[in-house]
Amino acid sequence: MTWVGKSLQRKEDGRLIRGQGLFADDEHSDSMLHLYILRSPYAHARIASIDVSAAQALPGVACVLTGSDIKEQCVPYMQLGPAPCDKIVDLPLATDKVIFQGEPVAAVAADSAAIAMDAGLLIEVEYEMLDAVVDPEEALEDKILLHEAAATNRTYHDVFEYGEVDKAFSDAAHVVKINRLHFHRFASTPVENNACTAEWNQRGDLDFLCNNSFAGFSMQLLAPSLRLPVEKLRIRSYDIGGSFGVKIWNYVYMALAALASRKCGGRKVKWSETRTEHLQGSGHGNERTFLDTEVALDKDGVITAIKSRHIDDCGAYPRYEPLGCIIWAQVLPATYGVRNFRIDFTQTVTNKCPVVPNRGYSRMQHLWFMERIVDICAHELAIPADEMRLKNYIREFPYETPNGCIYDSGNYPAMLEKAKQMIDWDGWKQKQIEAREQGRLLGIGIGTTLDSGTNNFGQAQIMNPNLPFSGNSEVCIICLDLDGSVVVSLGTGPSGQGHETTTSQVVADELNIDPSMITVRTGFDSAWNAFSGHSGTYASQFAVSGLSAVYGACQKLKAQMRQLAGFMLKADAAELEFGVGEEGPQLSVKGTDKSINYWFMSNLVNSNNALLDDSLADVTLNVRHVYRPPFEVPDTEKKFGNLTLTYAAQLHIAVVEIDTDTCRPNILAYAAIDDCGKVINPQIVNGQVAGGTAHGIGAVLMESFDYDEVGNLLTATFSDYCPLTVMNMPDVQYGSIETPSPFSYNGAKGMGEGGGAPLHTLSAAIQDALYAEGIIVTDSHHSAPRVFERLRAPNREATVSVESRRVGAQ
């Protein structure tokens, strides 16, 4: 029986559907304290004074923390960026001033959450208002500084240049100039907010049950900030209700629960965010502006060069940034064969919520930019959208991009063809002609995108050569427990991706047993020792990094099992086969009735070892395997090297009609084709594809973090920041092709983020609907009120220009 490739029902679902999941907020004890975080109502203000006396006096209050406690007890979090980032002081509470609305200024631990909140609201904070800066270009003028010690708001600047850009432009038949594009701010809001319990006992051990989704990395930043050796820190998670990257950096505020616990004599303290806290002060996706873009094309419409100036807005604190200033380069040319690039990349802080790696992190922004370019050029040169893609797609694999990334495999033309058939491209083209005759605004758009998985942390050194990160790794421990049961521990800490299921499928195939005979431990626990500094669930990689670790661990275990069984059964390893006998999982000698079951093998190693001899000294039936993808440190000078191992692809086509009365873009048809190489579990892949599609559609039509000019977040509840629900979800036709990756043992490619495909696709469809109206789609958000504004202000002349000339006359 082969389990990999089958839609095995998710092992996780039984407990989750029955309400037997354990989320961080489910943890409860009667003696536990509850933390309330008082947050700044202002985006930029100096803290003149804080008076906590009334809060401290309220019955039931155990302790109050303010910035002055924190300053004494914490080392500011390590900054990843180069100078001047090292001057940025990032602590769990604001100390001298606040720099975004929702920034924590004090915390109260009390017997109940209600008392904690009552007390928190008794804290009197006197603020001196400062001017706020929310516009990134204005921020770069440095007239208003967020981090005075850094003396600038600019956290990153560099130029990414590849090929012969100037020559390509002088040889070009057409140059298309687009003066401004903007990717809006949103986040893939998980259903579970940030939460943890912390218990910092008298022996100095600090135990968290939390929902951090990148524990291996977070521990390295959290422990030093609390002046703890990592060994003193235990991080556990059980079930996590979605992360999408947003929960990577919740450790910043987990520290508050820990400090409160220590101050209260080691009592357990729970912190659980409200939705408004999450929207105001958790993490947003990167907002990016693309200025002065110029595109060189040959006479046939093949793009030969692109130059542009990108400004990324990372909000108040860089935190995981400025990594996003590099991560996009994993997909520098998108799915296209462009060889010449000059991208001037700058990042700035603003008085807004910090950004975090949100589903599609940094690549999505760049892929949207590339798709807008291709789409706008096609319209300007009157090349049909499908032909434009076919002219420019990369077709040979493995493909080395201009910056040294290796695209493993793919077949974009086949995906396009499949999507066109699925949606009835020709039929819609005909209907579009009819619709236009009736004055209706109907558009058809293509979005081709990439989901780069298993990243090379060495790319961080392109940003800051001093960073001690490179490569990637994931860890798996597999053992036969005392009773012979197969137990697997991982470092991934999943947040809904079904790791227990897909891991069981791989192990079941390797041991030739049933997946139900395998226990994959739920969640993450640093005490299992099954983690590395890269461990976590992020960057679309489990099917490659995680399952390669599982596969490698299986090989080590099997070798030991063969050795032990061979010794006991007096047989050659080659004669042994794995399977299930009358007494459960076993190894047997081919063609005989001789066998040894897992219980006895475990018994021999663990409790009955006088039967063994010295040749079996290394047989433990408890093996740990670290998977390391074959990466090198990139050339940091040239910004060149392989940044990611696998490249899953998505191709979506949408048909959209703009209701000219309500200005709502109605999705009339939607097809989504996915290629993630070898599929481990089609049902799980489908779920991820559907979820990624929903997040993208929500971002386009509904979800936007909008700030006013003084830095108030105007969309801080779910009735203003409306996440997409099933009520707003159009019918989507799903399909797939399979181009196995040559770089993973199983042919799989990491998937799950989805590359923001609907953002590219719907922008293109809306462009197609509005081009004849003189409108260029320059933004990624298309809610009805925004479309209303756009329809009233045609912008083509002010946005795009085309210079065409005869070439070759020289």
Partner 1 sequence: MYPAPFQYHRAKTVDEAVGLLAGIGEGARVLAGGQSLLAILKLRFDEPTDLVDIGRIANLDQIDDAGEVINIGALATHNRIGASAIAEAIPIVSDCANGIADNQVRNLGTIGGSVASGDPSCDWPTLLHTLDGEILCQGPDGARTLDINGFVEDLYQTALKPAEIITGLRFKKPAAGSGGAYCTFKRCAPAYPTIAVGVQLTIRNGQVDSSRIALGSAGLTPIRASAAEAELTGGSLGADEINKAAEAAVAAADPYDDRRGSAEFKRQLIATLTKRAIAIAQRRAGGETVKNSPEYY
Site residues for partner 1 per CB under 8 A: 113-114, 117-118, 121, 274, 276, 661-664, 701-702, 706, 714-715, 718-720, 722-725, 727-728, 783-785, 788-789
Element (H, E) at 763: helix 757-770
Which C-beta is closer to partner 1: that of 201 or that of 783? 783
Catalogue the long-range contacts made by 682-686 (C-beta closer than 8 Å, 24 or more residues apart).
682/5, 682/6, 682/7, 683/7, 683/8, 683/9, 683/10, 684/7, 684/10, 684/497, 684/498, 684/501, 684/502, 685/736, 685/751, 686/734
User: Least CB distance from residue 150 to partner 1, whole Å?
Assistant: 33
Which C-beta is closer to partner 1: that of 112 or that of 592? 112
User: Least CB distance from residue 719 to partner 1, whole Å?
Assistant: 5
Which C-beta is closer to partner 1: that of 186 or that of 238? 186
Residues with Cβ within 8 Å of 356's Cβ and at least 6 positions away in sequence, in order, are 187, 245, 246, 248, 249, 282, 283, 284, 285, 319, 320
Which C-beta is closer to partner 1: that of 42 or that of 77? 42
User: Least CB distance from residue 720 to partner 1, whole Å?
Assistant: 5
Which C-beta is closer to partner 1: that of 86 or that of 706? 706
Element (H, E) at 622: strand 622-627
User: Least CB distance from residue 276 to partner 1, whole Å?
Assistant: 8
User: Least CB distance from residue 506 to partner 1, whole Å?
Assistant: 40
- The single-letter code of the amino acid at 419 is A
Evaluate whether 649 touches 412 at the Cβ level (below 8 Å). yes
DSSP string of 399-456, one letter each residue: EE-TTS-EE----HHHHHHHHHHHHTHHHHHHHHHHHHHTT-EEEEEEEEEEEEEEE-
For residues 739 and 749, what is the distance between their CA atoms, to the nearest angstrom? 9
Q: Burial of 615 by CB count in 10 Å (0-12 exposed, 13-18 middle, 19+ buried)?
A: exposed
Which C-beta is closer to partner 1: that of 610 or that of 727? 727
Closest alpha carbon to 55 in 67, 41, 38, 69? 38
Closest alpha carbon to 169 in 807, 700, 809? 807
Which C-beta is closer to partner 1: that of 46 or that of 786? 786
Residues with Cβ within 8 Å of 488's Cβ and at least 6 positions away in sequence, in order, are 476, 477, 478, 503, 504, 507, 518, 519, 520, 521, 550, 553
Which C-beta is closer to partner 1: that of 206 or that of 701? 701
For residues 201 and 195, what is the distance between their CA atoms, to the nearest angstrom? 20
Quote the radius of gyration of the chain (alpha carbons, Å).
Answer: 28
User: Least CB distance from residue 483 to partner 1, whole Å?
Assistant: 46
Structure tokens at 486: 């197969």
130 DSSP β-pair partners: none
User: Least CB distance from residue 662 to partner 1, whole Å?
Assistant: 6
Evaluate whether 197 touches 27 at the Cβ level (below 8 Å). yes
User: Least CB distance from residue 757 to partner 1, whole Å?
Assistant: 20
User: Least CB distance from residue 707 to partner 1, whole Å?
Assistant: 12
User: Least CB distance from residue 551 to partner 1, whole Å?
Assistant: 43
Half-sphere exposure of 439 (CA within 13 A, CB side): 2
User: Least CB distance from residue 69 to partner 1, whole Å?
Assistant: 24
User: Least CB distance from residue 792 to partner 1, whole Å?
Assistant: 8
For residues 499 and 231, what is the distance between their CA atoms, to the nearest angstrom? 26
Evaluate whether 413 touches 390 at the Cβ level (below 8 Å). yes
Which C-beta is closer to partner 1: that of 479 or that of 762? 762
User: Least CB distance from residue 432 to partner 1, whole Å?
Assistant: 23
Which C-beta is closer to partner 1: that of 593 or that of 661? 661
Which C-beta is closer to partner 1: that of 158 or that of 706? 706
Q: How many residues would you count in the chain?
A: 810
For residues 197 and 5, what is the distance between their CA atoms, to the nearest angstrom? 38
Which C-beta is closer to partner 1: that of 471 or that of 730? 730
Q: Under DSSP, is residue 271 helix (H, G, I), strand (E, B) or coil? A: strand
User: Least CB distance from residue 562 to partner 1, whole Å?
Assistant: 58
Strands 340-348 and 399-400: unpaired
Which C-beta is closer to partner 1: that of 7 or that of 662? 662
Structure tokens at 453: 């998985």
Strands 518-520 and 486-490: parallel
Which C-beta is closer to partner 1: that of 36 or that of 627? 36
**How many Cβ atoms from other residues are within 10 Å of residue 326's Cβ?**
23
Q: What's the order of all strands across the beta sheet hosting 269-272?
A: 61-66, 104-110, 33-39, 269-272, 195-200, 206-210, 233-237, 524-525
User: Least CB distance from residue 616 to partner 1, whole Å?
Assistant: 59
Which C-beta is closer to partner 1: that of 404 or that of 665? 665
Q: Burial of 426 by CB count in 10 Å (0-12 exposed, 13-18 middle, 19+ buried)?
A: exposed
